[in-house]
Amino acid sequence: DENVATLFGANLRLTQVFAFTIGGALGGIGGALLVHQFNFIDVQTTGVMFSIFVLLYVLMGGTQTAWGPITGALFFTLAPEGLRRLAELAPALRFLEASRYIVFGAAVVLVMMWRPEGLVTRTLVDRIKRA
């Protein structure tokens, strides 16, 4: 909250520039690691679905704490592997692997209905710290 930060004496402009710089640096490092992984860069490497997935990481995890996007990214990274493993163990469930986008869409709708603020909220983090 900008008003509260100003009341506490924080230099608002410096804090905003610092946050933008750190975010840009992390984005640059992420892009460099992506190029290193694939050994080249192409327009198709980061398509629209990639951007949508990154947005879903944040929305599913929550925006109130730093743990929210991490939780969302873990969920969306581990869920396809879990579906793939489940399809290997139970051939009757092989359709789950082929329709993973439908499963993800249903998961997003259910989480947004159950917890509109995301999976990890500030209240949850405070409860964990007190425990």
What's the pLDDT at 3?
86
Please, what's the b/e burial string for 20-57 (b: 16 or more CB within 10 A of its CB; e: otherwise)?
eeeeeeeeeeeeeeeeeeeeeeeeeeeeeeeeeeeebb
Q: What is the identity of the amino acid at 54?
A: V
Count of domains for the chain: 2
The answer on 81 and 28 residing in a single domain is: no
**Residue 120 Cα distances to 6, 54, 60, 103, 107, angstroms:** 27, 16, 9, 21, 15
Say whether both 75 and 28 belong to one domain. Answer: no
63 and 29 together in one domain: no
Q: What is the pLDDT along the chain (131 residues), one digit of tens a residue?
A: 788 888 888 888 999 999 999 999 998 998 889 888 888 777 777 778 778 888 888 888 888 888 888 888 888 888 878 878 887 888 777 777 777 778 778 888 888 888 888 888 888 888 888 87
Q: Do 20 and 34 share a structural domain?
A: yes
Q: What is the structure's pLDDT at 34?
A: 83
pTM above 0.85?
Answer: no
